[in-house]
A and B are shown apart, each in its own frame.
Chain A
């Protein structure tokens, strides 16, 4: 037996070296979050970030009905990959700070596989930053600020609603030739309103409009009398409004009450169904955009409406609108992709979604849709509509005027998107 003489210095060096190697194994240069051994009976958990309070409370709940309906349909057929789908919902309160807290909690404590939801663009931006930090795939169902698929885009985020610029492109040229060139722009003074207004101004100016004034309306404005008097005094041909949620309902009601719905012409960038439902067809005035309508004469639409009514027999909004529709198709596509790739690994999901084509028939729209790989923004049909003077029933508020090919109304704001590289995006798989 030989004795190895070992100095104290040598022993310390060896111990430190072993520790360094061991630590590298744990904390190495790569980022890897929450990998567990695959468990086939473990449910797939989806975090729902829908508002139940604040300006978009109504729309948030409408969106939740869509996402939950898609989940229920999959669960009735055995789930995805043989696994049940569970949802975890928290109220994001139409508030970006709350959105951040909710996203953090859902990822770090509830261990969700994916995040789905958001209407207010500020909240969507906040949630997507948290999602990108961890690598959690996030489907932003109903935000339409051009920034969300533009400069605020992320590798993990997929934007499912048309953007304010899409809607403006669909409506602006028509409005100038039909009504006139003198425009006043009115917008909610937060990220969606500001950016949609910028997009509208750019598009309108391009088609020859003269912008007489731009009026920034604080979120939560209840009294529109002064603004409406000012608009009347200016005598524009068109008023283009980027106002949403509860503010929009109040504005429309007061405009309609004052008989200002016929002149000037109103161009409301986008009209969310929950913001109109209950006000009556008379309040749906002006020209506006939407991604879907329950009376589109297309296969599948009537069945979808019927399935919604059977699943939600007691709800104030008795027919689904664009917000519910966006939630439904987004969730449905997510679950399909998981099934197709056979995994909940975020990179596999992201790569399967980029460039993904979705047929018009499947989406109950007029044109095929595609997920733009450069911006992760769903390019889809945009419908132009106005209030229906001859409704067939008490829910038939809209008259669809036209529908635009997604290629004809591509938003230039999407070109500002710079997605993070795959290497810079953490891998994320809750197993």
Chain B
């Protein structure tokens, strides 16, 4: 029995790393700007479509026009897709931040409504440009196909995606904790007025943080595209788990988000294996169970109301 469980646990960890990657951009924006960016899913989708444009001949550009590019080997095109997709999401994210400025300091509901509206608009724009059909993101054969694991076959791409997610999480931690820029971002999350008093331009800081969060959403979109498929509504599949992970992990906590992502991944993987019809519900049941006893999540800050 335990031997049968091991592949599912490993699969759960891989899935969890992907959920954590999905949630990190979301967490950054909430932590620094106290804005719940409901357009996170649409930015995720935009990243995926950006990658499709750079990888797939039917992804948006005319094949005849782009033939010299599409004739390049798959690996350089994939590396370009990994840059272009998130860049598109980042640029749109910065545009969204400019629209959000008028809501700062006002009722948080305004920011929520604006990002919700932006999510709908983005989804429709994507639908207008690429249609409502599903696209497939081709990947280089070096990271495709099956991987023999004991007497089981596992997806090579999934191993790559999990390793990539772990690397991104590590790089983000280093950026936030070991660089002066990360220090400014963390300071801004803690006390934005103090950061302004120290001479930093808060407007620029917020613009860059939001853009960075959007880039992370785009990166997640590119990585998840071969697993979840690429279609206009795939963002909903992203924003809801991201929200669950953030709340479960504790709003604003980096390692809280990572731990929560891993927990969600393992729970979803195990229920999908043994109680499949509960698999989509399982993450919400986990959230319910945790916040019932610890409302701030695994690593969130205690409120003054807590004894």
Residues of A near any B CB (own CB < 8 A): 52-54, 57-58, 61, 189, 215-218, 220-223, 225-227, 229-230, 232-233, 246, 249-250, 253-254, 257-260, 274, 278-279, 316-317
Contact = CB atoms under 8 A, between A and B. Distances in A.
Contacts of A260: 146, 153
Contacts of A230: 8, 273-274
B227 A223 contact: yes
A61 B232 CA distance: 15
A216 B272 CA distance: 10
A233 to B, nearest CB: 6
Given A229-B154, A233-B152, A249-B229, A220 B237 contact: yes
Given A226-B8, A227-B276, A229-B273, A258 B15 contact: no
A199 to B, nearest CB: 19
Interface stretch (B127-135, B186-194, B298-306): B127-135
Contact of A52 (B7, B11, B132, B154): B132
A223 B268 contact: yes
Contacts of A232: 151-153
B133 A229 contact: no
Contacts of B14: 225
Nearest to A61: B132
A226 B271 CA distance: 9
B228 interface: yes
Contacts of A223: 15, 227-228, 268, 272
Given A53-B233, A225-B15, A278 B134 contact: yes
19 contacts: A52-B132, A53-B233, A58-B133, A216-B276, A218-B276, A223-B228, A223-B272, A225-B155, A226-B268, A226-B273, A229-B7, A229-B154, A232-B153, A254-B155, A254-B227, A258-B153, A259-B145, A260-B153, A316-B131
A240 to B, nearest CB: 15
A276 B58 CA distance: 15
Contacts of B71: none
Interface residues on B, range: 35 or more
B208 to A, nearest CB: 32
B144 interface: yes
Interface in B135-155: 135-136, 144-146, 151-155
Contacts of B276: 215-218, 226-227
A222 B155 contact: no
Contacts of A249: 134, 136, 229
Given A52-B132, A53-B233, A259-B146, 15 more contacts: A57-B132, A215-B276, A218-B281, A221-B272, A226-B11, A226-B276, A229-B152, A230-B8, A233-B4, A250-B228, A257-B155, A257-B226, A258-B153, A258-B155, A278-B135
A232 B153 CA distance: 8
Interface string B214-229: 0000000000001111
Contacts of B277: 189, 216-218
A223 to B, nearest CB: 6
B124 to A, nearest CB: 11
Given A229-B11, A230-B273, A257 B132 contact: no
B202 interface: no
B272 to A, nearest CB: 4
Given A225-B155, A233-B7, A260-B153, A253 B229 contact: yes
B46 to A, nearest CB: 18
Interface in B200-253: 226-229, 231, 233-234, 237
B133 A226 contact: no
A58 B232 CA distance: 12
A221 B276 CA distance: 10
A412 to B, nearest CB: 26
Contacts of A250: 228-229
Contact of A226 (B58, B153, B233, B269): B269
B157 A257 contact: yes
B280 interface: yes
A264 B59 CA distance: 33
B158 interface: yes
A341 to B, nearest CB: 37
B122 to A, nearest CB: 15
B295 interface: no
Interface string B275-288: 01101110000000
A215 B279 CA distance: 11
A53 B268 CA distance: 26
A223 B58 CA distance: 25
Contacts of A189: 277
A124 B145 CA distance: 38
Interface in B1-58: 4, 7-8, 11-12, 14-15, 58
Given A53-B233, A227-B276, A246 B158 contact: no
A62 B135 CA distance: 16
Nearest to A230: B273
B161 to A, nearest CB: 11
A240 B281 CA distance: 25
Nearest to B276: A215
A188 to B, nearest CB: 11
A278 B138 CA distance: 11
Contacts of B226: 253, 257
A232 B7 CA distance: 11
A258 B132 contact: no
B96 to A, nearest CB: 23
A259 B268 CA distance: 23
A246 B146 contact: no
A54 to B, nearest CB: 8
Nearest to A280: B136
Contacts of B274: 230
A215 B274 CA distance: 9
Nearest to B56: A278
Given A229-B152, A249-B134, A279-B136, A222 B273 contact: no
